[in-house]
Amino acid sequence: WLAQQQMVELPGARAGGVAPFEAVACNFMGPYEVKGMCGIRRRYKVWVAVYTCFSSRYSILLATPGYDAETFITTHLRFCNTYAPRTLVQVDPGPNLVAAAERPDWQEVVKAAGYGDTEWRITPKGSPWRHGQVERSMGMAKTSLHRLLGGHTFSGDFHQLEALLKWVSWLLNSRPIATHSMTEWDFHLITPNDIVLGRAA
C-alpha cells in the first residue's frame, strides 16, 4: 500500500464550474522564420503564443513577432479583445513571460483595456505537470504544422503564418474530448468547437 501513487485534488479551474476562457494557460512555441512584408530577402523570427482554456480545452494560436515582454502584452491584449475576460492566466516560470506578468506598469495596461481583475499564476519551477495541458496543445500544434507543411520548413510571410495557425487551431479544436450518449448505439462526439461555438448536432 505504501507504493501506491498519491493523487491530489484538481484545482478549481480544472475541476469544473468555470465558464470558457475564465481560466486559461499560456505558453510560447517556436520560433518560425517568415518573410518580411517589404523585402522578400529579409526574414525575421516569429513565435506563437498558445492559449488553452481549462474548462473547454479550446486552443488559440496567435503569431507574435517577438519574445519580449512588451510584445507579449500586445499579444495578450489581442486575445483579451477577442474572447471573454478571464479571471486566471497561468504561465510557466519562463523569464520573458514572468517579466511581462510582473511589470510595474502591467496593471495600468490591463486597466486601460478593461481587464484589471485578472489573476496571474506562475507555476513553480520543476513542476512541468502543472502546465501539462498547454504543453500537450503545443505538441499537437507542432505535429499538425509539420503534416500540413508536408515536412518542409515554413517559407511564407506573417499573414500566411497566421492563416496557417487558424487552420491548425481548427484541427486541434475538432478533436473529440467527450461523448454524449443517448442510447447504447446512438452517441455524439463532443469537441471543443461544440462547447465554444455551439456546433453540436
For residue 70, the model assigns a pLDDT of 75
Q: Strands, E, within the chain: which ranges?
A: 23-35, 43-53, 59-64, 88-91, 119-122, 178-181, 187-190
**The residue count for the chain:** 201
Full pLDDT tens readout for the chain, 201 residues = 566 666 555 565 666 667 778 888 888 887 888 887 665 667 788 889 899 888 888 899 999 888 777 787 788 888 888 876 667 887 776 666 666 665 545 555 555 555 556 777 777 776 666 677 888 888 888 888 888 888 888 888 888 889 999 999 998 888 887 777 777 777 777 888 887 777 654
Q: How far is CA 164 from the centre of its chain?
A: 15
Cell numbers representing residue 145 in the block: 504544422
For residue 120, what pLDDT is reported?
76
Q: What is the pLDDT of residue 104?
A: 45
